Chains A and B, each alone.
Chain A
């Protein structure tokens, strides 16, 4: 049985690695578990393989910037378990996880949830067809497998990740068939008052402008203000249709469509733990309520990185470091005054990194129709339930997400609501004219990731002793 640790970190991305490095500086026993085979999270996926190669170069400097932290993490002395999935956390804290069909329970005084974010589900009719993937998925394919689209893809969405991927794809020698820009019209109008704050991150702003120029000069069609989207095909994507805010319509043949409607914090673990969550009007998402150190409403449970709210890699590193400092203090390895002293520059760095967020959040709002899709849109991908099915359940009396779940099975498939939870909440919000903050999210129950009975049976009695 593995010995208890001072700190167990779930996620080896920018936040998780930063927290591990910081906590190890104070001599804490640290274990980091991550479901991927190598550290880096999503932004620095496969970085140890790609850094210094041609693929790494075309991914850009944001990608290369991860190597020093990965090296520091590898050298930190933290115990690191890749390809390991956490499926339950019980008071104590007892963290249950599986690796290679073997389950284990590790006790930790503190748990840091650094599971990052996921792309916001953006349902539209036909989005489940083979040939429709997220922009993030395409970027991961580039990092993980050096793959690019075999023929020019259509891209539908908005946000910095869309621009970055288009630039990366063009630099890799790929072509783009066209971009259906779903940014609601008036982006600069929305963003104008946030410009002064964003100017603190002038290099980032200038980089964004450079990406825009690079994309526009590539010459592929860009359709602005797309409000509605539909994908059609027999067993795979064959055609895309769209409508714009100006009521222009169009349709194109396509076999590959990459979609993106922004990024939202992963809240599965903190929901399952019963941590207090709140709704962000600016980022249109739920996130756990945390103090300046990342401490949640449950003592000993911390969150760092995009899981607290979308801020990007550098903000995640700062948050991870702050959590590491606070946990070291909690464990008695750092005095309060030393913690404050070490934290001060990190807090300033975090504030600086977050200065550009209000501009980005105001400009890149999600397309409204994803929150109220047409009746024939599959909303729960796993159980194949449409928006019409959900609306019908609401009409006959399902009054909250869990009642919708009980009545329809929405949220009961393998993804456990990761792809449908927000949409169901929005449909309830619309039907009852209730703010989504009050509607809430599905109750998330363990196991947080699938496990077989065989894995469960490998848990020994000793590993669950209190």
Chain B
């Protein structure tokens, strides 16, 4: 286990409301108003994702929305820029790994919709 990259400055006087969220199932405490990416950088490994091309490890890089390295699954929505999202109590964050999985289900009756996407359906087709 290595030293995390970042840690909160010691000043309990300034701590506002403490919330908890999960990162890959692990319960983590955080302060209201901070970004999800900031939380990821306090953890070990400081990983947000592995890349779709070569499964390389990546972590938040610019913290301002122009590098897209901080992408992770937030409350079921994949490829969320975690540096632009404030944590919420009970939020579920999952690191995203490799390529997007297109979980194509087989359609049965004429009324059944076909969903693409392994988490939040983003594309619904009526056969």
Contacts and interface: CB of A to CB of B under 8 A. Distances in A.
Contacts of A133: 5, 59-63
B103 interface: no
A83 B81 CA distance: 11
Nearest to A149: B6
12 contacts: A118-B64, A133-B59, A140-B63, A140-B83, A144-B38, A145-B8, A145-B35, A150-B7, A236-B2, A255-B5, A381-B58, A452-B77
Nearest to A130: B59
B5 A131 contact: yes
B46 A418 contact: no
A146 B11 contact: yes
B33 A148 contact: no
A15 to B, nearest CB: 16
Nearest to A139: B63
Given A35-B84, A147-B8, A384-B56, A141 B41 contact: yes
Contact of A131 (B8, B59, B66): B59
Interface in B75-127: 77, 79, 83-84, 86, 120-123
Interface residues of A, number: 54
A147 B38 contact: yes
Given A133-B61, A414-B71, A255 B56 contact: no
Q: Which 4 A-B pairs have the closest CB atoms?
A: A145-B38, A130-B59, A137-B63, A145-B34
Nearest to A58: B9
Contacts of B46: 130-131, 236
Given A150-B3, A235-B45, A46 B33 contact: yes
A205 B40 CA distance: 37
Nearest to B51: A384
B66 A49 contact: no
B86 A37 contact: yes
A37 to B, nearest CB: 5
A173 to B, nearest CB: 7
Summarize A's interface: helix, strand, loop or mixed: loop
B30 to A, nearest CB: 8
Of A101, A146, A148, A151, most B-chain CB atoms within 10 Å: A146
Contacts of A136: 62-64
Contacts of A454: 120-123
Contact of A134 (B2, B62, B123): B62
Interface string A256-284: 10000000001000000000000000000
Of A130, A144, A382, A419, most B-chain CB atoms within 10 Å: A130
A147 B84 contact: no
A256 B63 CA distance: 15
Interface in A380-408: 381-384
A415 B58 CA distance: 14
Summarize B's interface: helix, strand, loop or mixed: loop
Nearest to A382: B68
Given A130-B46, A384-B54, A384-B56, A145 B68 contact: no
Nearest to A147: B6
Contacts, number: 149
A54 to B, nearest CB: 6
Contacts of B53: 383-384
B47 interface: yes
A36 B57 CA distance: 26
A379 to B, nearest CB: 13
B33 A419 contact: no
A261 to B, nearest CB: 13
A19 to B, nearest CB: 21
A381 B51 CA distance: 9
Interface string A150-181: 11000000000000000000001100000000
A35 B65 contact: yes
B5 A256 contact: yes
Given A130-B57, A146-B8, A141 B62 contact: no
Given A55-B9, A173-B9, A415-B68, A144 B34 contact: yes
Of A235, A418, A452, most B-chain CB atoms within 10 Å: A452
Contact of A128 (B7, B58, B64, B68): B58
B34 to A, nearest CB: 4
B5 to A, nearest CB: 5
B28 to A, nearest CB: 13
B123 to A, nearest CB: 5
Contacts of B54: 384
A61 interface: no
Nearest to A137: B63
A134 B122 CA distance: 33
A128 B65 CA distance: 16
Nearest to A150: B7
A54 B13 CA distance: 9
Contact of B7 (A148, A383, A384): A148
A1 interface: no
A115 to B, nearest CB: 10
